[in-house]
Structure 1
């Protein structure tokens, strides 16, 4: 008969290591899901604005305010969802640069907040004014995606 104690010790040691490693690899999936939802909301607003620019949807001052309001709402909330424990998991597209260069990320976010507020304040009354404000706002999207997003396409 063989002694099974070494096997039991190994199983216990591995289980203990897994318990201790758990907190080290914890992922804040709630934060990841929230920022993904916010980006989806932002994408919806961007699509609506793009449809106006392409002539696929009619311009109205009310719709312009709705679009910029939605984008500004996202801008004001987005930065709250990047805790240290949300770097990986949940199919995140957040680039390591967010945590490696937080001052740059914060500055990009502040610029987006300011530009969406400026677009709201401008309250475009025609398609040309909307195009100008929308272009200013969406330039932020492009820059942030280039610097702080992993392209998984």
Structure 2
């Protein structure tokens, strides 16, 4: 009969390593990266809107439609990237409240989708109308960030 002890120890070591690796595997980094990219894109659109409102960029109805359309398209995709296994990792700024209060998060996202669609539908033809529509959209950003984002700027 051969000695099976080295084999048993090797299996035990591999099992231990696998158990330790589970938390890392449970992090859905792909979902985290996708939602972070969507937020970066949303930030770029908001920055373009801000430049128009500050007079740093020229207003045009086409540019207004482009900004609001981009924000709306992002809003429709964004909610798809919060599976249970994406709560941590990848420098996520998603607050636990997203998973603790899923109905409130869905409601906030639905409100953002409605307001970005309303901004697209308003088709602003001047800066004042654009400012009003963007103010409504930006309020959603602020509220969602307060309730569902971890502030890492401190």
**TM-score (normalised: structure 2):** 0.90
Aligned position for 1:109: 109
CA distance in 1, matches of 2:44, 2:122: 21
CA distance in 2, matches of 1:11, 1:95: 40
Alignment of 1:23-62 (within 5 A): 23-25=22-24, 26-62=26-62
Matched residues in 1 for 2:45 and 2:9: separation?
55
TM-score (norm 1): 0.90
Q: Deviations over 1:64-84 (max 9, x none)?
A: 000000100110000000000
DSSP-derived class of the 2:91 partner: coil
Post-superposition shift, 1:19? 1.2
Following TM superposition, where does structure 1 have runs of at least 4 consecutive aligned residues deviating by more than 2 angstroms?
5-15, 20-25
Structure 1 residue 22 corresponds to structure 2 residue 21: yes
Give the secondary-structure state (helix, strand or coil) at the position aligned to 1:27.
coil
Q: Note the alpha carbon deviations across 1:38-80, whole angstroms, 9 max, x for none.
A: 0000000000000011000110000000000010011000000
Q: Deviations over 1:112-152 (max 9, x none)?
A: 00000000000000000000000000100000000000011
Alpha-carbon shift at residue 10 of structure 1 (Å): 6.8
Matches of 1:91 and 1:127, distance apart in 2: 37
Structure 2: gaps spanning 5 or more residues: none
RMSD, aligned CA: 1.9
Per the TM alignment, residue 16 of structure 1 is displaced from its structure 2 partner at its CA by 1.0
1:18 offset after TM fit, Å?
2.9
